[in-house]
Structure formats: structure tokens, C-alpha cells
Amino acid sequence: MKVELLSHTENPEKVIASAAKLCYSNKADIDSLMNDLTEEKVEKFVQKLESLGHESVFEHCDYTFGIEGVSRALLAQITRHRIGASFSVRSQRYCSEDNFGYVIPPSIQKHEKHAVRYKALMADIQNLYNKLVELDVPKEDARMVLPNACETRMIVTMNARELWHFFNLRCCSRAQWELRELAWRMLRLCEKASPALFKHAGPACVKGYCPEGSMSCGKAPTMKELREKYFQN
């Protein structure tokens, strides 16, 4: 898996603070919105907005990621976050999969005998796909034999509000392992780019509440424990 932050809104925390200032100030006009917004004031603004749950102003900032080496199964899950997000994905209809890569789940990889069978199955699928294309079967039809494990590439853009929601759900220990790994990698990049904005981002339990109910892992790990696990590098 490879994840890069390709671009993001310039001075995102300041943009958010200026939007909030416009909402709450009687005197602020467009020309003076960013006046006197020091780094310290901006951070306090962001923290205040977070505590109040005033999240709409976070939608003014976008983050664009380049992602590759992930499965089509992950694609099916991440596109559920389509509100506040945009996706561009490598097309199996137009692009050839004559040498497709694939993801092997760790839970299968640890069983050596079955991991070998898994890889053999991928090779059989590859051979069938290639044969179908040789027979002039359109790629859009030949792709029907391809597995969920087939690797794909995508560019994903999310605004800060949707990223918070995404991290809230997908950094959870109960999230599917591949999407959870992606979420934590994206969070690391966001924290580096906008530390004040994503300082408290992460799974829901870091704020003391687990929404999983009877499906909870029961551990409710602290942010410190999570960061030691996922931010060690």
C-alpha cells in the first residue's frame, strides 16, 4: 500500500477560523476576515469549534490523496464516504489487467498451505482473463472474472469534516484491516500537514464514547496508546 498527500487547502486552519469569524462577528467583512488571526488565535478557534461541534466550517478545506496497492474490496468500502468526498479510480473497463497485482490478507498469509492455494487461484484467474481478452472478449466483460483482491489505484479528495468522520469510523479497531491501515496512514499525513486541525482526530473511543454497542472490542484504547501503535514511525 502506498499513500501520498498530493495537495491540500493552503493555510487550512486559518481558512476555517476566518469562516467561523464571519459567522460570529458583527464587524468582520471579507477584506478583514484574516486580520489579526495569529497562529495562537487560529488554534484556539479550531479547538473551540471542535468542542462546540460546529463542523460545517471544516468543509472549506480539502485534502487530496494518491492511493495505490489497495484492493477492489477496499474500494467498495471507501466509496461509502461519498458525501464530502470525490473519487477517481483506475478503470478496469479501459485498462488492461494482463498482469494484475493482488492483496493477500494477513489472516490467509499466515496459513502457508492455503496461501499457496490462494496464489495459485490468482494465477488461474490471470490466465483466464488473458485468454478471454485474446479471444476478443471486451475488457469490460473479461473483468467479470477478476477478484476483490485485485489491486487498484485511486485519487481521493475529502474535506476536513468528512476526514474527521472517516477517521472516526475507519481508525476503529473493528474496521476492516486494510481500510483501517489506509485510514491511519491518511491521518498521519493530515496531522503532519495540519497539526492543529487533526490533533484529536481518530476513532470515536478517543473521546470516551464507543458507538459499536454490543459489537465493541471492549478495550476503548486511549489516544496515547493508539498513537504509540500507529505513529511509531
Question: Stretch 55-62: mean pLDDT, rounded?
Answer: 92
- Range ranked top by mean pLDDT from 116-120, 197-201, 227-231: 116-120
Are 155 and 90 within 8 A, CB to CB?
Answer: no
**% of the chain residues with pLDDT over 90:** 63
* Cβ–Cβ under 8 Å, residues 174 and 215: yes
pLDDT at 74: 97
Burial class (CB in 10 A: 0-12, 13-18, 19+), 198: buried
Active site residue 170: yes
Q: Among the options 72, 143, 161, 170, which is catalytic?
A: 170
Give tens-digit pLDDT for 17-33.
Answer: 888 877 777 666 666 67
pLDDT value of residue 5: 98
Q: pTM of this prediction? A: 0.87
Task: Report which of residues 61 and 53 the model is more confident about.
Answer: 61
DSSP 175-229: S-HHHHHHHHHHHHHHHHH-TTTSTT-S-GGGGT--TTGGG--S----HHHHHHH
Reply yes or no on whether the pLDDT at 233 is more than 60: no
Q: Which domains does the chain have, with CATH numbers?
A: 2-88+152-203 (3.30.1360.170), 101-149 (no CATH)
Rounded distance between C-alpha atoms, residue 64 and residue 155, angstroms: 7
Please write the tens of the pLDDT for every residue from 125-164: 999 999 999 999 999 999 999 999 999 999 999 999 999 9
- In this prediction, residue 31 carries a pLDDT of 66
DSSP, collapsed to helix, strand or coil, labels residue 102 as: strand
